[in-house]
Amino acid sequence: MNELERFKEITTFIFDVDGVLTNSDLIILENGHLLRKMNVRDGYALKRAVQKDYKVCIITGGNSSGVIQRLRGLGIKDVFSNCQDKLDTYEDFIYDYQIDPAHVLYMGDDIPDYEVMRKVALPCCPHNAAREILSISQYISPLNGGDGCVRDVIEKVLRLNGDWIDDPLDVEFEIEIP
């Protein structure tokens, strides 16, 4: 199976937040609140995937009410925050929905994502992921966390399955795999 065929088989997306949907920087305010920045194009892709009936799940060790509100606003129902064991959360999620791991893409960037990434069909990461994550990823986005890497993988899957744009005049698009 070539690389593009692996993307075509995906029906479920699972993403980490910090370092994937964000650039992994935190701004700490005097009152102790943490600020993160997310990419609106990643948001569009997430929303589009949900609209096209792909399963989208977020598994994060963080616990930001603002992040959860943003993700739920995009239509993502399965947002698991404050996860101490991402593998247990992943296994519960795929069991609850009877999802075949052969159709799951997981994008993570650091050690807490490692064990889950070893269980999915298509482990992916941003360009600036930790060395250990880079070593097990089958696709490394040319984009950094928070800079569109989520859209990169979602767009590949949706385009390959004819779900990216409804306009029949959609221009030819060639997907590049580095």
Tokens 């385009």 identify what position?
A: 159
Query: Residue 27 has what pLDDT?
Result: 86
- pTM equals 0.91
CA dihedral for 159, 118, 78, 129, sign (positive or negative): negative
Query: Residue 36 has what pLDDT?
Result: 87
Q: What is the DSSP string of 20-80?
A: TTB-S--EEPTTS-EE--B-HHHHHHHHHHHHTT-EEEEE-S---HHHHHHHHHTT--EEE
* Residue in 9, 15, 4 with CA at minimum distance from that of residue 103: 9
* Residue in 73, 102, 83 with CA at minimum distance from that of residue 15: 83
Query: Residue 26 has what pLDDT?
Result: 81
Query: Residue 87 has what pLDDT?
Result: 98
Per-residue model confidence as pLDDT tens for the chain (178 residues)? 567 889 999 999 999 999 999 998 888 989 988 888 899 999 999 999 999 999 999 999 998 889 999 999 999 999 999 999 999 999 999 999 999 999 999 999 999 999 999 999 999 999 999 999 999 999 999 999 999 999 999 999 999 999 998 765 555 555 665 5
Q: Domain segments of the chain: what residues?
A: 3-160
Query: Residue 80 has what pLDDT?
Result: 98
Query: Residue 32 has what pLDDT?
Result: 85
Query: Residue 4 has what pLDDT?
Result: 81
Query: Residue 178 has what pLDDT?
Result: 55
DSSP letter (8 states) at residue 159? H
Q: What's the CA gap between 105 and 12, in Å, rounded?
A: 6
Q: What's the CA gap between 62 and 93, in Å, rounded?
A: 18
Any residues with CB less than 8 A from the CB of 138 and at least 6 apart, and which?
3, 6, 122, 123, 124
Right CATH for 3-160 from 3.40.50.620, 3.40.50.300, 3.40.50.1000, 3.30.590.10: 3.40.50.1000
Q: How far apart are the first and last CA of the chain?
A: 17
